[in-house]
Amino acid sequence: MTPLLQVKDVAKMYGARIGCTDVSFDLYPGEVMGIVGESGSGKSTLLNCLAGHLAPDRGEVVFDTRADGPVDTVTMSEPARRMLGRTDWAFVHQHARDGLRMSVSAGGNIGERLMAVGDRHYGDIRARAADWLGRVEISDARIDDRPSAFSGGMQQRLQIARNLVTGPRLVFMDEPTGGLDVSVQARLLDLLRGLVREMGLSAIIVTHDLAVVRLLADRLMVMKDGHVVETGLTDQVLDDPQHGYTQLLVSSVLQV
């Protein structure tokens, strides 16, 4: 099986400071990988490099495209990369406001992604938007409301619907449950798990919440000061951490 994403020796520097360096891994179809680490460890920098939001200084990010097979997305043309961002890739921001158009209706937010890939039939677009609102548990009576009238948890779910409507194969998530209260978080986790299983999605999730990765991620990568210090199966890394930093991280979690 060809990996969906092959990351080879990616590095990003901010002047003399290290953003992230020496990152290599393969992600296979249907796999969910978590990236954990304290703030400033380089996990968001890495995610942005992988998703094409930042240009890495070194390394390759090879994506297995539907049309041409594995292609390095760092060196591909800007229009081709933007096309990927609208079709096979999705990016769920920590703050839903960064991923939504706040002045456009909920239905419009979902429809925009469909129109970007060529859908033109208004009735179809609206029907699919309504279908996706239902999947993320937002009443379709709210289809014409603007996201600014939604609660934080609803905005986050709307952002997920907007991202998944075009059937992406790879989803990047930056702290998708951060800033949400725990009951909303649980609902979102359940939703994401169901979507990953039903659509066969691969995902890379950046978070500092170890409970979230335990429930969502198959594999885990632990970062510290821009370096990957440990990788492995999620439960193995959390139950039998090998690196001193991971041990500290795991033992620092408050028991509920």
Partner 1 sequence: MIELQNVSKSFTLHNQGSAVIPVMEGATLSVKPGECVGLVGASGAGKSTLMRLIYGNYLAASGSILVGGVDVAKAEPREILALRRKTLGYVSQFLRVVPRVPALDVVAEPLLSVGTPIEEAREKAATLLAGLNIPERLWSLSPTTFSGGEQQRVNIARGFAYDYPALLLDEPTASLDAQNRATVLDLIEGAKARGAAIVGIFHDEAAREQVCDRFVDVSGFSPKVAA
User: Interface residues with partner 1 (CB under 8 A)?
Assistant: 28, 31, 186-187, 189-190, 193, 197, 214-215, 218-219, 231-233, 235-236, 239-240, 242-244, 247-248, 251
User: Which residue lies nearer to partner 1 by CB, 114 or 217?
Assistant: 217
Q: Which helix (H) or strand (E) holds 215?
A: helix 210-216
Min CB(119)–partner 1 separation in Å: 29
Min CB(115)–partner 1 separation in Å: 32
Is the separation of the CB atoms in 88 and 66 below 8 Å? Answer: yes
**Of 97, 48, 96, 106, whose CA–CA distance to 73 is shortest?**
48
User: Which residue lies nearer to partner 1 by CB, 80 or 186?
Assistant: 186
User: Which residue lies nearer to partner 1 by CB, 30 or 178?
Assistant: 30
Query: How far from 255 is each of 68, 172, 179, 180, CA to CA, in Å?
Result: 48, 29, 20, 19
Min CB(245)–partner 1 separation in Å: 8
Query: How far from 71 is each of 77, 126, 135, CA to CA, in Å?
Result: 11, 34, 32
Q: Which helix (H) or strand (E) holds 32?
A: strand 32-36
Straight-line distance from the first to the last Cα atom of the chain, in angstroms, rounded to the nearest whole number: 41
User: Which residue lies nearer to partner 1 by CB, 82 or 193?
Assistant: 193
Query: How far from 113 is each of 20, 179, 228, 230, CA to CA, in Å?
Result: 31, 25, 34, 36
- Distance from C-alpha of 180 to C-alpha of 60, rounded to nearest angstrom: 34
User: Which residue lies nearer to partner 1 by CB, 114 or 221?
Assistant: 221
Min CB(213)–partner 1 separation in Å: 13
User: Which residue lies nearer to partner 1 by CB, 74 or 249?
Assistant: 249
Neighbours of 124 (CB within 10 A): 12
Min CB(36)–partner 1 separation in Å: 15
Min CB(126)–partner 1 separation in Å: 28
If you search the block for the tokens 């009443």, which residue do you land on? 139
